[in-house]
Amino acid sequence: MDESLPVKPDEVWHYTTAAGLRGIVENDYLFACPATQMNDAKELLEGREVVEKALAEEAMSENPGFLANALALLGTFAETVDESEGLYLVSASTNGDNLSLWRNYGESASYAIRFDPDKRLRPIVDLGSLDRELGPDELPGIKLDAPYPHAAATISNDWVAVDYEQETAEQLARQIAHAARRAGGPDDLHRSFITDYRSRILGRTKHSSFSAESEVRKIIRVSPEQAFLGFRDSPRGLARHVRVGYSTLEPLGDSLTVGGKRIHACIETVEKLPILEVKLSPTGHRSSALRTLENFLAVNGYRDVELSRSASPFIG
């Protein structure tokens, strides 16, 4: 996969309600939600359709016998959805004053939190639920040498931009086809390309009607999944989530031993989130809202956070 594809944003804004802000600040973590529960009905379909189309074009132009084998390796859409059950997303925007996001993602009085894009966020694991080391086949697309960890995650170190015109999916499909011809068949590509497709393309490709959101994401896979899972109420019933937090504990590489258990690219305890700014929505806030917000942040240990109001003239 071409690592030049992700474009690191200068700003990252997470829109939320008053209840969401309180939970984030008091608990020092964000929720990563399942890819299968996003508000885009084509969340998983979009990337797959683009890849299938690009593979078909490659096959017809140079290797007609390749397409069937490549699609068989990708599996059915149902199989892709099953694999995506372990795919979690943290969503944000590069636009800190987006009227459509104020309307869609918050209540009348809502907030946008600006995070430092240079600070790495990682999934939070429950060490008490780990009873054995993982086997190599259980690692979610990570190439590690033995001894294998008790828990592991793959996570995009930088925030990655959502592709609304599907360039990334098209480029990956071409890479799959070209590499398959060099390798002599698609079976040789399973770990290096197909896992990458399921972990990254499904989480980065979104319908163009959402382009005004200027969305960026952290894309996460965890193993074993139950050691990271939490549950919360949602308008559609119980929802799964993975907690994502911040820690300055970053040894060389991404593996460390905590309490006698090896973990990779995840953390057990969190520090204060790298919050740079909190912005108030254009409607719903009282005149004393900034002072109240300042007090709330200070009480919870966030004392050097810039506060601002939306510049939008929208009045509801």
252-256 LR contacts (CB < 8 Å, sep 24+): 255/144, 255/149
pLDDT attached to residue 2: 43
Give pTM, 2 decimals: 0.86
pLDDT attached to residue 4: 42
Give 93's strand partners: 13, 215
Tokens for 7, please give them.
């474009």
pLDDT attached to residue 208: 83
pLDDT attached to residue 166: 74
pLDDT tens sequence for the chain (316 residues): 344 444 678 899 999 999 999 999 999 999 998 877 776 667 767 777 777 777 777 666 656 566 666 666 666 767 666 666 678 899 999 999 999 899 887 668 899 999 999 999 999 999 999 999 999 888 876 778 899 999 999 877 779 888 887 777 777 767 766 665 565 555 555 555 566 666 667 778 888 888 888 999 998 889 999 999 999 887 778 889 999 999 987 655 678 899 899 999 999 999 999 999 999 999 989 999 999 999 999 999 999 999 999 999 877 6
Residue 268: CA atoms inside 13 Å, Cβ hemisphere, count?
16
Within 8 A by CB and 6+ apart from 144, the residues are 136, 152, 255, 264
Rounded to the nearest 10°, the torsion over CA 18, 19, 23, 25 is 10
Rounded to the nearest 10°, the torsion over CA 99, 101, 107, 113 is -100
Q: Of the candidates 57, 72, 79, which has an alpha carbon nearest to the alpha carbon of residue 177?
A: 57
pLDDT attached to residue 38: 73
Within 8 A by CB and 6+ apart from 171, the residues are 2, 5
Length of the chain: 316
DSSP 125: P
Spatial distance between the Cα atoms of 177 and 185, rounded to a whole number of angstroms: 9
pLDDT attached to residue 35: 78
CB 26 within 8 A of CB 16: no
pLDDT attached to residue 200: 65
What are the two backbone dihedrals, phi and then psi, of residue 153, each rounded to the nearest 5 degrees? -145, 150
Residue 168: CA atoms inside 13 Å, Cβ hemisphere, count?
26
pLDDT attached to residue 86: 72
pLDDT attached to residue 3: 42
Helix (H, G, I), strand (E, B) or coil at 87: strand
pLDDT attached to residue 163: 83
